[in-house]
Amino acid sequence: MFYIHNMSCISAQQTFAEIDLNKLHDVVDNRLSVMEPSYEGIPTGILRRMGKAIRFGVGTALPLIKNNNAAINGIIIGTANGGMEDCIKFLNQIIDYDEGMLTPTNFVQSTTNAVAAQIGLLSANKAYNTTHVHRGLAFENALLDADMLLKENASANYLVGGVDEISAYNYNIEYLGGWYKKELSSVKDLYSSNTIGCIAGEAAAMFFINNENTNAIAKVAGIQMLHTQDDKTVIVADQLKLFLAKHLIAGEKIDLLLSGENGDTRVLNYYNACENILNKQTTIARFKHIMGEFPTASAAALWLACYILKEQSVPAHMIKSDAMVQTSFNRILIYNNYKGRQHSFILVEKGGL
């Protein structure tokens, strides 16, 4: 696969600039909204015209571009909704102004590829630029695209990431569909609520990747995606067994399972099935109480995995109560599923293994 040399994340927690994962920021109006920085790298005139997803998506990417001297040969973004909020604003303008003189800004920024496009424009990057829109597997497809490109262009560098916002439109639709909890006083109650639904979240996570092992933070060693309408956990469990058999040789084990468990009782059985397959010594950690639920949550999970491999520690609040805690971490398995239909496994190893 490929190596991650630098990473950046803007989320509901303190994951940007001065990172502190031990302090938990709680839900507000049943949402885990991003903590937006001052965006020093974006000109003020451009910033005030940006929609929220574009602001924190571009704001996450620019530090990586600035801090890496190597040329970026492509920008690859995964998103489910992109600038959905701007899209709704534009559609409302059509009604409000009776299809008259409309503000073009909302239209320009309403497309799903607006984040990747703005990153390219602000960094004057005219190379490969694409956006993958596959709901809960959007980020995984972006990673797969990057991997295929690196097989063709062995010396290239790519910026790959995932971004999604909580738009009012999407939140209302998902809430009415029963995908968000009706009320939750604290993220600490997420896994013990024993109800359907989860917490709405949003984040952007970006990664500077290439084929070079030297000084790499982590290696993405394997990716597996599964889209199934069958609610039998045995299908997902069998796929995990095949995935592990393919990527682990005799004697190797998973040190940490980074689980996308989200407090929704309808999908808990999938996470339990995957936990039962792993070695008893594997530490189980969860991240949805930190980031919330959104289609590209696996991008935030990959950022967390890289951070854990770099720091060799896991915040206590992420550890599942009955898990055994390892003293060192070399291999992390991320398992995430979106609405019980789209499943993914990402195997992350410490750089230099």
Residue with tokens 């398995």: 333
CB 325 within 8 A of CB 318: no
- Residue 25 and residue 152 share a domain: yes
The pLDDT value given to residue 219: 98
Q: Where are the beta strands (DSSP E) in 217-282?
A: 218-227, 256-259
Task: Kindly report, residue by residue over 293-322, the tens digit of the pLDDT.
Answer: 999 999 999 999 999 999 999 999 999 965
Confidence of residue 94 (pLDDT cuts 50, 70, 90): confident
- Residue 248 and residue 147 share a domain: no
- Residue 232 and residue 130 share a domain: no
CB 225 within 8 A of CB 140: yes
**Which range marks the domain in which residue 195 is found?**
2-210
Distance set, CA 207 to CA 67, 158, 193, 247, 313 (Å) = 12, 8, 34, 22, 20
- Residue 233 and residue 198 share a domain: no
How many separate domains does the chain show? 2
Does residue 200 register a pLDDT over 80? Answer: yes
Task: Kindly report, residue by residue over 320-337, the tens digit of the pLDDT.
Answer: 965 566 678 999 999 999
- Residue 110 and residue 37 share a domain: yes
The pLDDT value given to residue 322: 57
The pLDDT value given to residue 118: 93
Examine the fold and report which residue of 192, 210, 228 is the final residue of a domain before the chain moves on. 210
Highest averaged pLDDT of the listed ranges 100-104, 166-170, 295-299: 295-299
Q: For residue 171, which of 108, 88, 227 has the smallest C-alpha distance?
A: 88
Does residue 168 register a pLDDT over 60? Answer: yes
The pLDDT value given to residue 238: 96
Residue 302 to residue 297: CA distance in whole angstroms = 9
Average pLDDT over residues 2-10: 97
- Residue 206 and residue 108 share a domain: yes
- Residue 204 and residue 146 share a domain: yes
| pTM, rounded to two decimals | 0.94
Residue with tokens 């407090």: 263
- Residue 154 and residue 300 share a domain: no
- Residue 278 and residue 136 share a domain: no
The pLDDT value given to residue 85: 66
- Residue 318 and residue 247 share a domain: yes
- Residue 174 and residue 85 share a domain: yes
Task: Kindly report, residue by residue over 132-147, the tens digit of the pLDDT.
Answer: 999 999 999 999 999 9
CATH number of the domain where residue 251 is located: 3.40.47.10
